[in-house]
Amino acid sequence: MLSLLQPNLPLFITGHSLGGALATLAAIDIATNTTFASPTVYTFGAPRVGDPPFVKAYNCTVPIHWRIQNKFDIVPHLPTLVYHSPHTDETYFYLHVKGEVQRSFRYGSVSSNHVLSSYFLNLSEDMPQIASAICASPLGFCPNAESS
């Protein structure tokens, strides 16, 4: 699919929650193995993706990553920084990649603090004109926080 795109144009990769983790993994793969050496990544409420060597490689390979997370969203706190497996007796370390953009909002429940529409609602408070333009676009992307 990437072969259909022009490598001289910017490539944006984005995802929410598990999709944010997959966007992170895709970004380093694309930056390493395609002509798109500088993708721009936006993730929302994504969990930690890798161990310290992965994070170091990612941070050196992917130039721009905006990792937007709500401090009241549980998913960005997973997996724990240090995880000791009771099955294998191994200890694993998980870190976030660069680019943290810390947000702080509470919308009533654990799930409401995580859903993409809540991130949109919170960010739209900072940029109401941009949010209105997005909601007015023919693409119809305007998440409704009330229905989440």
**Catalytic positions, written as ranges:** 17, 73
Phi first, then psi: give them for residue 118, nearest 5 degrees: -70, -40
Q: What is the CA radius of gyration of the chain?
A: 17
Tokens of 83: 């995880």
Q: What three-state secondary structure class fits 89?
A: coil
Task: Give the Cα separation of 98 and 52 in Å (integer).
Answer: 12
Task: Give the Cα separation of 64 and 36 in Å (integer).
Answer: 13
User: Which residues sit opposite 49 in a β-bridge?
Assistant: none
